[in-house]
Amino acid sequence: MVLPGFIYASWIGWISGSFFVSKPWGDPSYKWLSLYTLYALIFNALSAFKWIHFINKSIVFFQHRSLASKILNLCLLVGSGLFGLIFKLIFFIRAKKILAFLQQLRNTEILVVPEVQYAWKWCKVLICVTCISQMGTSVALPFFFYRLIPDASLSFIISPYYFLSFFIFGSFPVTACFTVAFVFAVVVTFHWLFCIEKLFADLNTWVDSKSNTRKRGLLPNDSISLEVRHESGFQLDFSKEEFIRKIENLQTLCKQFDEVVGPMYLCIFIRTVFFLIHSADAILIENTDHIEEFSDFKRFFGWIHLIFESSQLFLIFMGSYFHERVAFRRQQLKTSVFLHPLQGKREIDEIWEFVRTSKWKMTACGIFIIDKPLIGGVVSTMMTYVVILFQINLSDPGTNNGTLCTAK
């Protein structure tokens, strides 16, 4: 069964040959030797050939452009193909780990509390917008590159099937890779948060049951039942060993999260910063070696691209929300443990020590924590390279004495 919220992205990944692990129906599965793996490898090989051929021909056409124009256009072409290849390699090389991680998630109990459910609804809206916008981008890219490079410079562009072939083997695989990686990261992160919410809800229910027992005047040696009613309405049996097992399972899940989702987050952030720099410079720098009407179209495309790439920084706020929820739940449990008179205090202290020392954090391969302070690093990096490229454009003697700024 596909995780909720990942259904449409799994179809996109399955059709484009990007997501090797799971078919859009049934249980997650993966086999090295299968018809689908063969189809995915052939499809990706054709896509890579399409991009390499297109970039090689484009380099010849860009030789007479200004330096800033060369950098911007080649970065767009190379970056689109390169990041698509990286996402495909992540899904292909870590296919077995992704499968094991998905199975572990499915076997872990979850709880969707109203506060998190509200945030999850907005995330599903963002997922829907991402899928639609990326598919729209895959349709617009063939037209954009066709206008960027006249058909006289590329022999295969003259073909009437250029738009269809470039969409199938060029733009669609690239946008599909990013869509699948982005949606997968968001869905898995929230599902992991649901698992943590379930653990803390059970712990709070157990602690409250012991506190209520003490208030009723029962002595520690009295024989009482630990079968209490959970906030979800079901009766659950609690024990120290069961909670320790659940905490260890979540720790294992956290390690798998870093191994599987961490590389995706790292590539998503690098890609986002890369294209934010490109979009900002494309708006600021007006390339007069393009025809006038295409300059307007390119600036419009740059603004749309800038807005969409900026929306990907939502992942930073999602990471901040994740850490805030974990910290809130941990503080809530700490208050119950230390401020309430409890029966079986020693047992609860042992479990609290496990919870206190557990490090449940969203990181990008352990390189940096995905939290609000990351915004400052992203903005400073982006502004640095925007200024560098803008200065290159102003100092280039081939840009009409450096008067190519769009500000008028």
What letter does residue 3 receive in the DSSP assignment? P
Query: Are residues 288 and 132 in contact, defined by beta-carbon separation less than 8 angstroms?
Result: no
- Once rounded to an integer, what is the mean pLDDT over residues 94-101? 85
CB 137 within 8 A of CB 302: no
Name residue, tokens 């899940």: 253
How confident is residue 186, by pLDDT bands cut at 50, 70 and 90?
A: very high
Q: Is the dihedral of CA 97, 261, 50, 165 positive or negative?
A: positive
Q: What are 208's two structure tokens?
A: 């409250």
Residue 407 lies in a domain: no
Packed helices 240-284 and 374-395: angle between N→C axes, nearest 10 degrees: 20
Q: What percent of the chain has pLDDT over 90?
A: 6
| Confidence at residue 226, expressed as pLDDT on a 0 to 100 scale | 37
Residue 101: inside a domain, yes or no?
yes
Which of 94-98, 209-213, 260-264, 359-363 has the highest mean predicted lDDT (pLDDT)? 260-264
Q: Are 274 and 133 in contact (CB under 8 A)?
A: no
339 versus 193: the higher-pLDDT residue is 193
Give domain status of residue 336, yes or no.
yes
Give the pLDDT of residue 379: 85
Condensed to tens digits (0 to 9), the pLDDT of residues 105-138 reads: 888 888 888 888 888 888 888 888 888 888 888 8
Mapping DSSP onto H, E and C, the string for 299-346 reads HHHHHHHHHHHHHCCHHHHHHHHHHHHHHHHHHHHHHHHHHCCCCCHH
Between 91 and 61, where is the model more confident?
91
The structure tokens 């009407």 sit at 293
pLDDT over 80 (residue 378) = yes
Predicted pLDDT of residue 324: 92
What would the pLDDT profile of 196-207 be if each residue is shown by its tens digit? 898 888 888 877
Assess if residue 405 is contained within a domain: no
Average pLDDT over residues 77-105: 84
Give me the number of domains the chain comprises. Answer: 1
Is residue 337 over pLDDT 60? yes
Q: Which has the higher per-residue pLDDT, 222 or 101?
A: 101
Q: Tell me which residue range forms the domain holding 207.
A: 7-216+224-395
State residue 233's pLDDT score.
44
pLDDT of residue 265: 92
Q: Nearest Cα to 363, choosing from 310, 308, 322?
A: 322
pLDDT at position 154, please?
Answer: 46
Six-digit token string for 122: 């907005």
Mean of the pLDDT values across residues 375-399?
76
Q: With respect to residue 1, please indicate whether it lies within any of the assigned structural domains.
A: no
Question: Which residue did the predictor score with more confidence, 312 or 344?
Answer: 312
Residue 173 in this model has a pLDDT that exceeds 80: yes
> What is the chain's mean pLDDT, rounded?
76
pLDDT at 295 (0 to 100): 61
The answer to whether position 26 is within a domain reads: yes
55: pLDDT strictly greater than 80: no
Predicted pLDDT of residue 30: 73
pTM (two decimals)? 0.83
| Residue 286: pLDDT band with limits 50, 70, 90 | low
> What is the model's pLDDT at position 241?
78
State the pLDDT confidence band at 213, using cuts at 50, 70 and 90. Answer: very low
Q: Does residue 354 belong to any structural domain of this protein?
A: yes
**Does some domain include residue 2?**
no
The terminus-to-terminus CA distance of the chain in angstroms comes to: 56
Q: Is the pLDDT of residue 143 over 80?
A: no
